[in-house]
Amino acid sequence: MKNGQLRFEFFLSRLETLLAKAARQKNPALWLYQNDARTPLFMLEGLAKLYSGIHNKKKFEKLKAHFKLLEDTLGAIDYYDAFAKEFAANKKIPKEVTAYMQAQSREKIQSLNEILKEKKWLGEDGKRIKKTRKKLSKANWLDEKEEIKCIEEFYISAINKIREFINEKDFTFIDVENDVHEFRRKLRWLSIYPQALRGCVQLSKSKTAMPKFLSKYLTKEITGSKYNVMPDAGDQQVFLLLDKNRFYALSWMIAELGNLKDNGLRAEAIKESLLQTSLKDENTALARAYKIAGTGQLTIKQVLDKAQELCRVYFKEKNLEALIKGIAGIKK
């Protein structure tokens, strides 16, 4: 197998093991959620997303759709389950709000169980992994040097699309889900690809002095995070190099935007439950949601304003433009 296929196989094997164990459970979807099936799915989705931009677009787009469906449904379970647990531990949250979150979590779990069966991921009819491997075996995999050049071009394209997204928004966010969360999602893929690519992307220290403005991003949480350590290079001979400090800055932005997004979505989740259980007016429900959430809860406008400001500073510093350092090879 060439490197590209081996990367898929690494995460497919992990997913296959989880699916085999899940098939023996009374509630396979719940078991997969509780045993982090979302991580290998994220990696597989990321690989399919990347390779669809390099070669065999139709083939990889179809594979991406299968991985994304499972990952999105696990994400929906996580959304409602996380708030359900948080609200259950807070006596100030009305019981009907918590009950609604719990009910939605169960509904999403059932939805995933149906998808696992319908799309043939589990049991005797579980042919999805086998079909995926067959499709991958027929892809036009590139040699190492050519592939790294294409990965670099894909990265440049992904960065340009993020810049276009921000320019179209004119640094103005009006919605937590479609603006803050979507922007964060686009940034997050830039940090997922290196993990999914299994060693062909590495971090490089700049030979010049680090700009002072980068120091604010280099917190202990960021520099010490296991997610900011690149996978071992193995026998890889050619690499795409990313600037280490700019990658840390990217990670910091993803984390900070995540905190803001979660704060805003907390109010939205409470509002949703109130509209579904007791109130009819959206403005009244949102005002009530702020009151229920209590100290520390930002208004949606505050969330959007803070996210906008982070974005303005980050792009003014041209951190994304300086992320890619180029391609390096090792001579035997």
Q: What tokens were used for 116?
A: 């696992």
Same domain, 133 and 263: no
Q: How many CA atoms lie within 13 A of 171 on its CB side?
A: 10
The answer to whether residues 73 and 210 belong to one domain is no
Query: How many structural domains are present in the chain?
Result: 2
Copy the structure tokens of residue 291: 């009151």
Strand partners, 201: 240
CB atoms within 10 A of CB 98: 19
pLDDT of 245: 96
Residue whose tokens read 């081996």: 6
Task: Report yes or no: 128 and 120 within 8 Å, Cβ to Cβ.
Answer: yes
Same domain, 110 and 133: yes
Q: Are residues 265 and 130 in the same domain?
A: no
- Please indicate, yes or no, whether residues 160 and 302 belong to a single structural domain of this protein: yes
Residues 133, 177: Cα–Cα separation, whole Å = 34
| Residue 124: Cβ-neighbour burial (10 angstroms; 0-12, 13-18, 19+) | exposed
Write out the two tokens for 285: 């429900």
Does 115 share its domain with 171?
no
What was the pLDDT predicted at 332?
Answer: 44
| DSSP-derived 3-state class of residue 278 | coil
Q: Are residues 119 and 198 located together in one domain of the fold?
A: no
Q: For 4, which DSSP code?
A: H
Q: Are residues 159 and 108 in the same domain?
A: no
The alpha helices in the chain, defined as continuous H runs, are 3-22, 28-34, 38-52, 57-88, 95-118, 128-137, 144-169, 182-196, 220-223, 244-277, 282-293, 300-316
Give the Cα separation of 297 and 93 in Å (integer). 13
Please answer whether residues 166 and 315 qualify as being in contact, where contact means their C-beta atoms are separated by less than 8 angstroms. Answer: yes
b/e sequence 273-301, b meaning 16+ C-beta within 10 Å: bbbeeebeeeeebbbbbbebbeeebbebe
Is there a single domain that holds both residue 77 and residue 208?
no
How far from 193 is each of 65, 196, 308, CA to CA, in Å? 17, 5, 25
Has this prediction a pTM greater than 0.75?
Answer: yes
DSSP helix/strand/coil, 207: coil
Same structural domain, 205 and 231? yes
The pLDDT score that the predictor gives to residue 159 is 97
What is the distance between the alpha carbons of residues 120 and 42, in angstroms, rounded to a whole number? 19
Judge residue 123's burial from the number of C-beta atoms within 10 Å of its C-beta, 0-12 exposed, 13-18 middle, 19 or more buried: middle
The answer on 210 and 96 residing in a single domain is no
- Sign of torsion over alpha carbons 263, 269, 275, 278: negative
Which of 117, 137, 157 terminates a domain? The answer is: 137
CA quadruple 298, 301, 304, 310: dihedral, nearest 10: -70
Q: Looking at 137, 154, 176, which one is the last position of a domain?
A: 137
Q: 319: number of CA atoms within 13 Å, CB side? A: 28
| Alpha-carbon span 253 to 176, nearest angstrom | 16
pLDDT tens, N- to C-terminus, the chain (332 residues): 899 999 999 999 999 999 999 999 999 999 999 999 999 999 999 999 999 999 999 999 999 999 999 999 999 999 999 999 999 999 989 999 999 999 999 999 999 999 999 999 997 777 999 999 999 999 999 999 999 999 999 999 999 999 999 999 898 999 998 999 999 999 999 999 999 999 999 999 888 889 999 999 999 999 999 999 999 988 889 999 999 999 999 999 999 999 999 999 999 999 999 999 999 999 999 999 999 998 889 999 999 999 999 999 999 999 999 999 999 985 54
Q: Give residue 154's domain range.
A: 144-329
Task: Read off the tokens for 152.
Answer: 């670099």
- C-beta separation of 152 from 327 below 8 A: yes
97 within 8 A of 276, measured Cβ to Cβ? no
